[in-house]
Amino acid sequence: MAERPGMSATAEPSGRRTRLPLVIAASVVGVAVLGLVAWLALSGRPAPVGVTVAVAPPPPAPPPPAPAEAVVQETAPQPTGPMPGFNEGRALLPAPDPDLIEKAANGFLPIIGRDGRQPWQVYARPFDLADKRPRVAVVISELGPSPTAIDTAINHMPAGVSLAFVPYRPRLGEWINLARAAGHEVLLNLPMEPANYPTDDPGPEALLTALDPATNLERLNWVLSQATGYVGLVGLMGSRFSTSHDDMLPILTALQHRGLLYVDNRATPQTVVPDIASDIGLAMTSANRQLDTELVRAAIDKKLSELEDIAKRNGAALGTAHPYPIVMERVAVWAQTVEDRGVVLAPVSATIDRSKAVPPKPAAAKPADAAAKPPAAAPAPVPTPAAVPKAAQ
C-alpha cells in the first residue's frame, strides 16, 4: 500500500494517545495532594472549633473606683489605738492646719490654736500612748544636701524614724510633705554657733552669742517660716550657743509659746537646755546617743543596743544620726527585730515627758474690728505623693 503524504512509517497506536491526558491529570492531582499534606504538617494541628488562639492574654480590666467612704477614711483622723505595724508608712494628715499658722514676713509661723491645740501634737505621728513598752526614737538629722539621702530616708527607712531637715533648701516644703506622706514625723534643724565658729559655720541664719536676743529671735522666725507641718526643732551644731543661759532662754521660750517641741542634740555636756526647759515647761527631750561617731556596722549596732538598754531603764531613749548610707542601713535592719526584744520604735513626740510639758495659754481673742477682717490665706497643702522622685535635684 502506498503511504499517504504526512504519515509516518511508525505511526503511534491510538490507545496510547488516549491514556496520556489521564496520566497528566493524575500527576497534577498527586502533586496537589502531596502539597496539601506538607502544608498541614508544617502548620500544626488546627485549633478546635470555638477556641480563640491568642498570642498574649488581654490586659486586665482597670479596678473600679474606690467608694466614697474609703476616700474619707484616708483623710480622716487616725485612731489613737495601736498602729498596725511600726514600719507602716501610713500618710499623716495634710499640713498646714490653717488654725495653727500666722502670716510672717518670710512665710507662715506656727502658733497654738485658739482651742489650745499645739503643733507638736497635731503634726505628730500617731502613737498609742497607753503602750507601756520601752520606746526608742531615732532621728535622721541634717537632711538636705543630698537628694539621694533624702530619697533613702523617706522611702526606705521605717516610718517610725523621725526626719530632720536643714532650713536652707528651696524644696524644703516639698520634701516635708513627701516625708509626712510616707508616715514620718518631721523636725527642722536649728543652726547654732559651735565652739570653733567660724571655722565650722552652721549657716547664714545661725543663732550667735555675739548677736542681741532680738536679732536671734528674728533668725529663729526665719527658720520657722521656711516650712510647715513639723513638730519642732533639733539643734544643728550649737556647742557654744547651747551653753549660754541668756541666749538660749528667749529662744526656748519662743518655741514654748508657739507649741513646738525641742530636741537637745547634746552638742556639749555643758548644755543648759534641759534646765531651761524644765523651768518654763517646754516639751523637750535629749539625745542619749549619737549613732554615727564611728561609721562601722558593729559600732552602730552597739549604739542601737545601748539605746534599748537605756529605754528599758528609763522608759524612753533617743538616738540621732547624720544621713550616712551605712547608718540608715543598720537602723532599718535593727528596726525589723526591735519589737521581738520588748522595745518599740517610736516617733520623737512619743518620748516627751508630758507631765513636765506645760501647755501655754491660747492666744487672746482678737478685737471685733480685727476679727471682721479676713484671715491671711494659708498656703495650699502640697499634694503628697507616696514617694520622692529618684531624680530629685
Domains identified in the chain and CATH numbers: 106-357 (3.20.20.370)
Measured between alpha carbons, how far is 112 from 360 in angstroms, rounded to an integer?
A: 8
Q: Which three cell numbers stand for residue 86?
A: 511600726
Q: Retrieve residue 235's grid coordinates.
A: 539643734
**Euclidean distance between CA atoms 27 and 21, whole angstroms:** 10
The whole-number pLDDT of residue 30 equals 66
Q: Tell me which DSSP letter residue 105 carries.
A: T
β-pair type (261-264, 284-286): parallel
Are the beta carbons of 139 and 327 closer than 8 angstroms?
no
In the prediction, which pLDDT does 33 show? 60
The pLDDT, as a whole number, for residue 81 is 36
Exposure letters 80-106 (e unless 16+ CB within 10 A, then b): eeebeebbebebbbbbbbeebbeeeee
| 286, 268, 161, 257: CA torsion to nearest 10 | 50
pLDDT of residue 15: 52
Q: What is the pLDDT of residue 357?
A: 87
**3-class SS of residue 290:** strand
d(CA 222, CA 218): 6
Q: Is the pTM of this model over 0.75?
A: no
CB 182 within 8 A of CB 154: yes
Q: How far apart are CA 124 and CA 291, in angstroms?
A: 23
Which grid cell sits at 231? 513638730
Q: Could you give the 3-state DSSP secondary structure of residue 59? A: coil
Cβ–Cβ < 8 Å for 191, 205: yes
Strand 101-104, strand 289-290: pairing: unpaired
Tell me which residues of the chain have a pLDDT lower than 50. Answer: 1-13, 44, 46-59, 62, 64-86, 365-376, 382-393
